[in-house]
Chain A
């Protein structure tokens, strides 16, 4: 193959490098010229909906840069009067029926429409019309959908269909009455929505947002009769920094522990501890399925969006899901039903909070299977990384200036294997390390499994555990998972263990993460997890002392009766009413 042809074009009167196959938007961005868009998604085919990216091409007039291939000899003005005026008019058209409640909007200050109005100097209401008044959909346990604030850029629709393979929402009606909605414009709770929140991540306005649990958490913190315990997921400590203007990928775990204490949480535990626990159970389950002829390939079950996806779209493959609860729920169960008793606290008076990079965790926490007959849920409230940042700002705390703190024991100690859960391939890598030990009685020589690392959406490897050769696959982004499941349905049988993370990149790219992250931020977060794995001594879940202690004192052995009661769950098909 020949190298990609490069040539120069004229961009705003200066020469700019271009490669054949690039769009004008790519060329502008490489050249450091920001052309605004509201509908562009880097890895998907251009939709051409917002028309804000129009640039003035000599001899052709206004051309949408997102979908126009660059050609030699082009002369492009990104800010001609024609282009700027068109953009401003488009922004004004969007503002005409947009509710003017910015001061009350969760996206105030983080809103792309607001930024554009500011950038193009919209100072008067040129177009006057009735404001959108579609009602808010609060039916979902994870999401709030506010169609009145929707500018119909369509990014959520495309992500949901093209990346996640779910297609829970689509355009409905025509012309100015167009709406993005679930089927039949019913609530998201009865749709095929898997609560992943990738739509929230791409929404330029406040039309899609997480269902906030901040009030519940604040009320609990203010209630002296309640002991509030918090756990934080592995991906949170490598993402929170961005909310406070620090570099993507900075690990602020020790600072965050202090902040959480200052916020009033009585105990700060680490979900990565529960991840180690998950590995003990899940690796044992894998070995038991391999040896006992159980249903293979086994699927991981720590990503609640994925679990719902299997339940509703592939119920025939539900037996393939590991029965292990997710780390969040394991931690919740252990806190309410082991730790509380040990501390002599009535579990009814323990309020268990999870800080997660995810909004599907809010859905998971309220699943009826998750807790003591629903009277004492494992987890009471779930905050996203974003909500935690809001809480920190509310308290006026400066994260960067905290004194580093150590998590509370016993559930604050973790191996780096548990920490790896925060990225795609992490569960696989951690599980393989422990499965190797379970099968062979020895540790793996090279603990790093390079084949399952990195941001690729689908990674496959063959791993030898003595005489057993395992076929493993790691998938992130459900659209790709759907393709793999179809292969399995069609008879593919060379795989034994499959890790699926709902969101592209795994939890570091979760739907509860900082909005409008810099490009490349997800990779930085993932690299940060790998750095932690390289630099700490305990890298194996089964070497976590406190996990061993928990088995010795309470659980007995992996897959034992007590484990089953606390750490495992069941699934149900979801046809019709979801």
Chain B
């Protein structure tokens, strides 16, 4: 059975109906096929390669080629499956081998040259210990004795995976596998037994809130749209994931596109929309490809398109690619972009649920929000609201990145602490360095310092420390990170990505960035009244930040000062060192550093003098060298050039 041999068209009509019928027994043929699709039964070995964007970036493409080459050379009849990302991005490329009847053995950081060894050993019935990560698979499969389970791996141990449930496990290119794993049961249930209003009510009762950042109750949003009289309504999936360091939506689409489509269809049904748009950035080519294929398969199966499951409900899904502007994640800007206009927000009211795309009632939900919906419909609101905290139900997917041992996607129940995520799943800070902060909620989120590591992840708790849930980016920073520099990086990002419409955001964020630039500027680069302007900037900064927050048009502007306010709140001493002492404690802000050569360690190799672009290093061959501070431009070239660690920074 080749991966592409089935295109889904044999999954329609009576068979599909039988599959999607709740609780009814299936005939033996169908049951057997489902077991095969779930890989509980198989006739030949299966080799899986994690081929999401993260895996491909780490070299999964070459691993895949090596697998195919080796299998062909060895004459082994095995199935090769490209899966999405299982979440553990830092261990990519991941290779899994499953022998008939046995659990899946997972190997991490596999290079093409490792492939023959692993495959040969596995096909011979032994699990090599090198690269071994863990084993997993459906119940009933025989486990490998004496080897650890993937579920016990610290990265997975604290996770509660519902949105990511199929990611990395199934072949995202085949709707049958999704169907076999429970896909489209929620849609079938809703179309057969629930009215749109009932779906809205169920989702509202579940407590699901928007996962894109705002945290607005999803069911309530739907109800608004449903209750607005109109001849046409639109459902929009926001896949314009723009935060630096956020890749949850991309991974969900790449790994399990049908979950998103099912959620989208359910939402469209709930609000009475016959047309849905998926707004996704063009920088996500693989996700777009997966979506296109998934839509075509779902249409072929009659799960999208006209008269879905003979319910009379029609849904046309259109993919709309965006050019990658950060602001287009904002609802009204996104709507403008779909309409073919410049992506700029407009004032609300009217809210999109009343007057949105093309002036019609529209609901915009984030990918992760929609991916939560099918399980809610299948398992019920009570099941969902049993997960999480008082005001934040369910789970949340985080994209863990930065100075942390294990990076990747983590899905945890709401209420999990930041410490459990960073130090549990993430494995803490590598290299024996100390934790400094984690940036949560994207560029305009906030940072969480050491003393608040035990804060729970939910919408309200995070606000108490000046952070926010945001879409789920978690960037970990260690002691080598300068918080002023971090603020400057995010402010620069925000001021570039400001749409330019409202004055406080357009002009204000630029001035905030300029003020931070001035703070990290060395005296040698100051002219005229620069020092005065620098100091004035520092005194006006809080007031400017307040005006930007209070008066900006959209969420981007309202949260734009957060990087400054948050770092200032938790790391005032770093700001003071920069401002008053012109010193960067983390030794990051180059302009504030002084470079010297330790004459004891210097061997007089002249490498540094030759690397120096400003001729600031003097000294003869085999003589200790010296840096002339007046000429030094603090570029750091000598530091990189020196092989004897003789260059000191202070």
On whether the beta carbons of A82 and B507 are closer than 8 Å, the reply is no
From 335 to 365 in chain B, residues with beta carbon under 8 angstroms from any chain A beta carbon are 342, 344, 346-349
From 59 to 79 in chain A, residues with beta carbon under 8 angstroms from any chain B beta carbon are 61-62, 64, 66-69
Of the listed stretches B3-11, B296-304, B400-408, B548-556, name the one at the interface; the rest are far from the partner chain: B548-556
Any chain B CB within 8 A of the CB of A7?
no
On whether the beta carbons of A64 and B500 are closer than 8 Å, the reply is no
What separation, in Å, do the CA atoms of A94 and B409 have in the docked complex?
43
Q: Is the interface of A mostly helix, strand, loop or mixed?
A: loop
Contact of A174 among B325, B508, B514, B536 (CB under 8 A): B325
What separation, in Å, do the CA atoms of A5 and B378 have in the docked complex?
46
What separation, in Å, do the CA atoms of A278 and B537 have in the docked complex?
64
Q: Which residues of A contact B544 (CB under 8 A)?
A: 89, 127
The proximity string for B residues 483-510 relative to A, scoring 1 for CB distances below 8 Å and 0 otherwise, is: 0000000000001111111111011111
Any chain B CB within 8 A of the CB of A440?
no
Evaluate whether A50 and B502 lie within 8 angstroms (CB atoms) in the complex, with A89-B544, A90-B551, A126-B540 already known: yes
Chain A: CB-nearest residue to B536: A126
Q: Which residues of A contact B510 (CB under 8 A)?
A: 129, 175-176
Q: Which residues of B contact A177 (CB under 8 A)?
A: 500
Q: Is the interface of B mostly helix, strand, loop or mixed?
A: helix
CB of B395, distance to nearest CB on chain A (Å): 33
CB of A424, distance to nearest CB on chain B (Å): 28
On whether the beta carbons of B550 and A176 are closer than 8 Å, the reply is no
On whether the beta carbons of B342 and A171 are closer than 8 Å, the reply is yes
CB of A288, distance to nearest CB on chain B (Å): 44
Chain A: CB-nearest residue to B341: A170
Of the listed stretches A41-49, A256-264, A347-355, name the one at the interface; the rest are far from the partner chain: A41-49
Any chain B CB within 8 A of the CB of A338?
no
On whether the beta carbons of B344 and A171 are closer than 8 Å, the reply is yes
Q: Which residues of B contact A52 (CB under 8 A)?
A: 503
Evaluate whether A96 and B511 lie within 8 angstroms (CB atoms) in the complex, with A64-B347, A82-B550, A175-B496 already known: yes
Chain A: CB-nearest residue to B344: A171
On whether the beta carbons of A48 and B553 are closer than 8 Å, the reply is yes
10 pairs from A and B in contact (CB 8 Å cutoff): A48-B347, A50-B503, A51-B552, A67-B347, A86-B550, A90-B504, A97-B507, A128-B536, A129-B510, A176-B498
Apart from A47-B347, A93-B508, A171-B500, 17 more pairs, CB < 8 Å: A47-B501, A48-B553, A50-B503, A62-B551, A64-B553, A86-B550, A89-B504, A89-B547, A96-B507, A127-B511, A127-B540, A129-B510, A151-B503, A171-B342, A174-B497, A175-B496, A178-B506
Q: Which residues of B contact A96 (CB under 8 A)?
A: 507, 511
Q: Which residues of B contact A68 (CB under 8 A)?
A: 349
CB of A173, distance to nearest CB on chain B (Å): 7
Q: Which residues of B contact A85 (CB under 8 A)?
A: 543, 547
CB of B319, distance to nearest CB on chain A (Å): 24
On whether the beta carbons of A174 and B347 are closer than 8 Å, the reply is no
Any chain A CB within 8 A of the CB of B434?
no
Any chain A CB within 8 A of the CB of B533?
yes
Evaluate whether A49 and B342 lie within 8 angstroms (CB atoms) in the complex, with A86-B550, A90-B551, A176-B498 already known: no
What separation, in Å, do the CA atoms of A94 and B552 have in the docked complex?
14
CB of B564, distance to nearest CB on chain A (Å): 15
Evaluate whether A176 and B553 lie within 8 angstroms (CB atoms) in the complex, with A89-B543, A154-B501, A171-B500 already known: no
Number of residues in B with C-beta < 8 Å to the partner?
Answer: 35
Any chain B CB within 8 A of the CB of A54?
yes
Any chain B CB within 8 A of the CB of A11?
no
Chain B: CB-nearest residue to A176: B510
A: interface residue count bin: 35 or more
Any chain B CB within 8 A of the CB of A152?
yes
From 72 to 109 in chain A, residues with beta carbon under 8 angstroms from any chain B beta carbon are 82, 85-86, 89-90, 93-94, 96-97
What separation, in Å, do the CA atoms of A29 and B547 have in the docked complex?
24
Chain A: CB-nearest residue to B345: A48
CB of B504, distance to nearest CB on chain A (Å): 6
Q: Which residues of A contact B499 (CB under 8 A)?
A: 174-175, 178
What separation, in Å, do the CA atoms of A82 and B551 have in the docked complex?
10
CB of B511, distance to nearest CB on chain A (Å): 5
What separation, in Å, do the CA atoms of A90 and B344 have in the docked complex?
19
From 347 to 377 in chain A, residues with beta carbon under 8 angstroms from any chain B beta carbon are none
What separation, in Å, do the CA atoms of A89 and B495 have in the docked complex?
18
CB of A153, distance to nearest CB on chain B (Å): 9
CB of B340, distance to nearest CB on chain A (Å): 12
Q: Which residues of A contact B500 (CB under 8 A)?
A: 152, 171, 173-178
What separation, in Å, do the CA atoms of A61 and B508 have in the docked complex?
19
On whether the beta carbons of B342 and A152 are closer than 8 Å, the reply is no
Q: Which residues of B contact A82 (CB under 8 A)?
A: 550
CB of B190, distance to nearest CB on chain A (Å): 35
What separation, in Å, do the CA atoms of A97 and B500 have in the docked complex?
14
Evaluate whether A176 and B507 lie within 8 angstroms (CB atoms) in the complex, with A46-B347, A47-B347, A154-B501 already known: yes
Chain B: CB-nearest residue to A82: B550
From 460 to 497 in chain B, residues with beta carbon under 8 angstroms from any chain A beta carbon are 495-497
Chain B: CB-nearest residue to A130: B514
What separation, in Å, do the CA atoms of A178 and B506 have in the docked complex?
8
On whether the beta carbons of A47 and B349 are closer than 8 Å, the reply is no
On whether the beta carbons of B504 and A93 are closer than 8 Å, the reply is yes
What separation, in Å, do the CA atoms of A50 and B504 have in the docked complex?
8
Contact of B551 among A54, A67, A174, A178 (CB under 8 A): A54
On whether the beta carbons of A174 and B496 are closer than 8 Å, the reply is yes
CB of A148, distance to nearest CB on chain B (Å): 15
CB of B498, distance to nearest CB on chain A (Å): 4
CB of A171, distance to nearest CB on chain B (Å): 6
On whether the beta carbons of A176 and B506 are closer than 8 Å, the reply is yes
Interface-central residue, B495, B508, B552, by most chain A CB under 10 Å: B508
CB of A486, distance to nearest CB on chain B (Å): 18
Interface-central residue, A48, A68, A86, A94, by most chain B CB under 10 Å: A48
What separation, in Å, do the CA atoms of A62 and B511 have in the docked complex?
22
CB of A516, distance to nearest CB on chain B (Å): 21
What separation, in Å, do the CA atoms of A45 and B348 have in the docked complex?
11
CB of B316, distance to nearest CB on chain A (Å): 27
On whether the beta carbons of A49 and B553 are closer than 8 Å, the reply is yes
Evaluate whether A90 and B503 lie within 8 angstroms (CB atoms) in the complex, with A51-B553, A129-B511, A129-B514 already known: yes
On whether the beta carbons of B509 and A48 are closer than 8 Å, the reply is no
Q: Which residues of B contact A66 (CB under 8 A)?
A: 347
CB of B449, distance to nearest CB on chain A (Å): 28
What separation, in Å, do the CA atoms of A32 and B347 have in the docked complex?
25
Please provide the 10 A-B residue pairs with the shortest distance between their CB atoms, ordered closest to farther. A178-B500, A48-B347, A67-B347, A93-B507, A176-B510, A175-B498, A89-B547, A51-B551, A62-B550, A128-B533
What separation, in Å, do the CA atoms of A214 and B547 have in the docked complex?
43
Q: Which residues of A contact B506 (CB under 8 A)?
A: 152, 175-176, 178
On whether the beta carbons of B551 and A49 are closer than 8 Å, the reply is no
Chain B: CB-nearest residue to A38: B503
What separation, in Å, do the CA atoms of A394 and B28 have in the docked complex?
99
Q: Which residues of B contact A49 (CB under 8 A)?
A: 501-503, 553
Q: Which residues of B contact A174 (CB under 8 A)?
A: 325, 327, 496-500
CB of A514, distance to nearest CB on chain B (Å): 27
What separation, in Å, do the CA atoms of A328 and B500 have in the docked complex?
42
What separation, in Å, do the CA atoms of A89 and B502 have in the docked complex?
13
Q: Which residues of A contact B346 (CB under 8 A)?
A: 45, 47-48
Q: Which residues of A contact B344 (CB under 8 A)?
A: 171
What separation, in Å, do the CA atoms of A45 and B332 have in the docked complex?
14
CB of B51, distance to nearest CB on chain A (Å): 34
CB of B406, distance to nearest CB on chain A (Å): 35
Contact of A176 among B327, B342, B495 (CB under 8 A): B495
What separation, in Å, do the CA atoms of A68 and B553 have in the docked complex?
12
Q: Which residues of A contact B325 (CB under 8 A)?
A: 174
On whether the beta carbons of B553 and A86 are closer than 8 Å, the reply is no
The proximity string for B residues 3-47 relative to A, scoring 1 for CB distances below 8 Å and 0 otherwise, is: 000000000000000000000000000000000000000000000
Chain B: CB-nearest residue to A61: B550
On whether the beta carbons of B547 and A175 are closer than 8 Å, the reply is no
On whether the beta carbons of A69 and B550 are closer than 8 Å, the reply is no
CB of B175, distance to nearest CB on chain A (Å): 39
Q: Which residues of A contact B327 (CB under 8 A)?
A: 174
The proximity string for A residues 411-455 relative to B, scoring 1 for CB distances below 8 Å and 0 otherwise, is: 000000000000000000000000000000000000000000000
